[in-house]
Amino acid sequence: MSRDSSSDKPWAGRFTEPTDAFVEAFTASVGFDKRLYKHDIDGSLAHARMLTHVGVLTENECEAIVAGLEEVRADIERGAFDWSVALEDVHMNIEAKLTDKIGIAGKKLHTGRSRNDQVATDIRLYLRDEIDLIAVEIKRLQSGLLDLAEREADAILPGFTHLQVAQPVVFGHHMMAWFEMLKRDYSRLMDCRKRVNVMPLGAAALAGTSYPIDREFTAKLLGFDGVCENSLDAVSDRDFAIEFCAFAATLLMHMSRFSEELVIWASAQFDFIELPDRFCTGSSIMPQKKNPDVPELVRGKTGRVFGSLMSLLTLMKGQPLAYNKDNQEDKEPLFDSIDTVRGSLRVFADMVPAIEIKHENMERAALSGFSTATDLADYLVRNGVAFRDAHEVVGKAVRLGVETSKDLAEMSFEELSQFSPVIKEDVFEVLTLQGSVAARDHIGGTAPSQVRAAVARARAAL
Ligand code: ARG
């Protein structure tokens, strides 16, 4: 089936000339909204069953519509559906094909609804399914982080502030920080799902319909938690898509930070981790190169997800009630965000458990930046020195270390004890990296035992 003439359009009745050819292409959305076909058909099946339930359609008409729509679905899925730009969008394409197949009953399907409530319903159904797939991928990435955190609960690396060596932490603790961010992203997604899963159908064009529809009946068939309570709002607002894009932007912001760390850690200067070859690429000119493309790309893709959020916010802000054609522009940013989130999560969930840790390099780095200076200050405080005085004492010891190229733990007792009379031989116990991390033994601290407990709690909750 191919329709090139505007007189085939379902709304052609009041028009006196065909649509300008370029306008037809400019205003069509079928090129991108055909990805809603499955949910459009599901929505139509439920609508037809509801119309039959309330006596607007006969059982025979309903059976014909159901069989016809299933045939259309099969045609689309085996690539035998001829999408027509003249029919604008996924909705009119499917309806026209249905009518070709079953005749007059096909023309009755649109009774008591409009493309305005239809499209709002389709997007919500589609987004709900995508949210459920994304939720699974977040959990898969989280579970990879837990495995890595447990495996490396004792591996010490420098923790940074200002990207300067600050205090030693264990790698597992660092991974659990990413786990926590994803936990909040997951809960944002679930929160968004509640507001996505409300049904616009029944709002019709904008004011509702004069047919005796049963919206609860349709909502139940489609698995919606409820119905939109105002028809004008139902067909016009896309805040649920904006909310999803805000979730996506926050998730990708987190993944971008994670990516940035992986890129830094994989560099020759840090050399903390090895990313498996299958997640990297080489250079066409420099034979020695192994580039961390996956985290770099995820970091780069964050930009488009931020852009989509801004697109949708801007799309919405100037619109008077109710539906406006502007809303057709909601789809591409939303779809792009969904694709980007799914792809980024998938590749990270595959890659993260395969990250290899270079223990000696991380430990050497932790030893080289006076990372136990705070521990020395705490030692002085425990022995009666006021914290501000302790801070100054340690500062002097660090200055000596810089001049003599020695870490605090590498200094002799004579060198250290000249700075304070309370420094005794036992000072070396707190100056080791292991002593430093083990001392932070409270919920949220970096002690390996606390990290293992955090992993166990997280596993139970996942
Ligand atoms: N393709 C349109 C969209 O994506 C469907 C709704 C069209 N409604 C209308 N009154 N022209 O928003």
Residues 172 and 312 placed together within one structural domain of the fold? yes
pLDDT the model gives residue 13 = 84
Residues 69 and 161 placed together within one structural domain of the fold? no
- Index of the ligand 1 atom closest to the CA of residue 29: 1
Residues 261 and 144 placed together within one structural domain of the fold? yes
Question: Which active-site residues does the annotation give?
Answer: 162, 283
∠ CA 276-177-435 to the nearest 5 degrees? 95
Rg (CA), the chain: 31
Nearest Cα to 8, choosing from 65, 77, 82, 116?
Answer: 82
Residues 358 and 384 placed together within one structural domain of the fold? no
The pTM (predicted TM-score) of the whole model is 0.94
Q: How many domains are contained in the chain?
A: 3
End-to-end CA distance of the chain: 50
User: Which range marks the domain in which residue 42 is found?
Assistant: 6-111
Residues 148 and 291 placed together within one structural domain of the fold? yes
Q: Establish whether residue 118 lines the binding site of ligand 1, counting it when its CB lies within 6 angstroms of any ligand atom.
A: no
pLDDT the model gives residue 5 = 52
Nearest Cα to 72, choosing from 63, 82, 62, 57?
Answer: 82
Distance (Å) from CA 37 to ligand 1 centroid: 14
Q: Establish whether residue 328 lines the binding site of ligand 1, counting it when its CB lies within 6 angstroms of any ligand atom.
A: yes
Structure tokens at 203: 């709002």
pLDDT the model gives residue 2 = 45
Distance (Å) from CA 116 to ligand 1 centroid: 6
Distance (Å) from CA 327 to ligand 1 centroid: 8
- CATH number, residue 33: 1.10.275.10
Q: Establish whether residue 89 lines the binding site of ligand 1, counting it when its CB lies within 6 angstroms of any ligand atom.
A: yes
Look at ligand 1, atom 11, and give the residue with the nearest C-alpha.
325
Q: Establish whether residue 327 lines the binding site of ligand 1, counting it when its CB lies within 6 angstroms of any ligand atom.
A: yes
How many other β-carbons are positioned within 10 Å of the β-carbon of residue 187? 11
Query: How do residues 397-426 score in pLDDT, each as one tens digit?
Result: 999 999 999 999 899 999 999 999 999 999
What is the C-alpha to C-alpha distance for residues 59 and 25, in angstroms, rounded to an integer? 38
- CATH number, residue 327: 1.20.200.10
Annotate 339-401 with DSSP letters as a single string.
HHHHHHHHHHHHHGGGPEE-HHHHHHHHHHTTTTHHHHHHHHHHTT--HHHHHHHHHHHHHHH
Q: Are 112 and 321 contacting, i.e. CB atoms less than 8 angstroms apart?
A: no
What is the C-alpha to C-alpha distance for residues 64 and 68, in angstroms, rounded to an integer? 6
- Index of the ligand 1 atom closest to the CA of residue 331: 4
3-state DSSP assignment of residue 425 = coil
- pLDDT < 50: residue spans in the chain: 1-2, 4, 6
**Is 103 part of a structural domain of the chain?**
yes
Q: Are 124 and 197 contacting, i.e. CB atoms less than 8 angstroms apart?
A: yes
pLDDT the model gives residue 282 = 84
Query: How do residues 73-101 score in pLDDT, each as one tens digit?
Result: 999 999 999 999 999 999 999 999 999 99
Rounded-to-10 torsion of CA 319, 324, 328, 330: 20
Q: Are 72 and 101 contacting, i.e. CB atoms less than 8 angstroms apart?
A: yes
Residues 100 and 163 placed together within one structural domain of the fold? no
Look at ligand 1, atom 4, and give the residue with the nearest C-alpha.
328
